[in-house]
Amino acid sequence: MTTSAYTRRTALMTVGIAAATAFTGCASTLVPATTQTIEEGAASPSNSERTDFSGEAKIENYDTSAGTYEPATREHRAKNVPKPILPEEANKNSVAGLHANIAYLAAAYIYGFTSGDAECVGKSALNSEDKASLTRAIGHVSDSTWVADPTLIISLKEATPRQDGDTYTWPALLTLKIGPFRVKNRSVEEVPESERSKEFPMDIVARYKDERWVFDTLPTNRSSSSPGAGGTSRV
């Protein structure tokens, strides 16, 4: 695989495939671009809005019209999974708008791997190629194959993103968890406790264009990129 191909593998796609294959695979390695603190007036929140967005990014509103949620068991996958609702501020050119898209992506990931439905991924800020990759990974979930309690936590490490021109970079820690069992072709396998949680340091890289946020994959110092090396991944 060429170095260019590695720069297009995002951390989210890596853990998406990992969830579908019980945590196999590794994150890509990219060198963070030089950035500066976000400038006042450029995608910055108003005085009436929240100014510190560090910590777990999560949404509050879900569509529960499908009925009472039933978690996955060893006999059947989850039923009536609450569907995340895209926050109203998601399309705003603001820190709050970017944060809303990060939170929605985490919720869309959980919904997808719990329900087997990639609809919410389609509404996320991933670019079209990465939406297709994650949709394929979610396609592994079926009435005969599922994992218990797939969970994605995106914890933002700084109060606001950094800015470099029209590009915004937000250092984060991605934590992926699954429950104590997985089912593949109706065969139940117990998941050792040591395999139930993985962490991926990462940079969320985004641009605001055409009145919406898009998580981007950008050129890096190609000479420093190599498969299997340590470092920070990017979305």
Q: 166 in a domain, yes or no?
A: yes
pLDDT band at 133 (very low <50, low <70, confident <90, very high): confident
- Per the structure, the count of domains in the chain is 1
Q: Do residues 141 and 20 lie in contact, with contact meaning Cβ atoms separated by under 8 Å?
A: yes
Helix 128-138 × helix 11-20 angle, to 10° = 10
Residue 183: strand pairing partners: 146, 188
pLDDT band at 12 (very low <50, low <70, confident <90, very high): low
Intra-chain end-to-end CA distance of the chain, in Å: 19
pLDDT mean across residues, the chain:
78
Q: Do residues 100 and 91 lie in contact, with contact meaning Cβ atoms separated by under 8 Å?
A: no
Q: Nearest 5°: CA angle at 6, between 13 and 233?
A: 60
**What is the reported pTM?**
0.78
Q: What is the pLDDT of residue 65?
A: 97
Q: 83 in a domain, yes or no?
A: yes
pLDDT, tens digit, 9 for 90 and up, residues 159-207: 999 999 999 999 999 999 999 999 999 999 999 999 899 888 889 999 9
Q: 115 in a domain, yes or no?
A: yes
Q: 232 in a domain, yes or no?
A: no
Q: Nearest 5°: CA angle at 29, between 224 and 138?
A: 155
Domain range holding 207?
3-227
Examine the pLDDT at 91 and tell me if it is beyond 80. Answer: yes
Burial of residue 93 (CB within 10 Å: 0-12, 13-18, 19+) is: middle
Q: What is the pLDDT of residue 200?
A: 86
Q: Alpha helices of the chain — where are they, by DSSP H? A: 3-7, 11-20, 95-115, 119-122, 128-138
Q: 136 in a domain, yes or no?
A: yes
Q: Is 223 helix (H, G, I), strand (E, B) or coil?
A: helix
Q: What is the pLDDT of residue 217?
A: 54
Q: 193 in a domain, yes or no?
A: yes
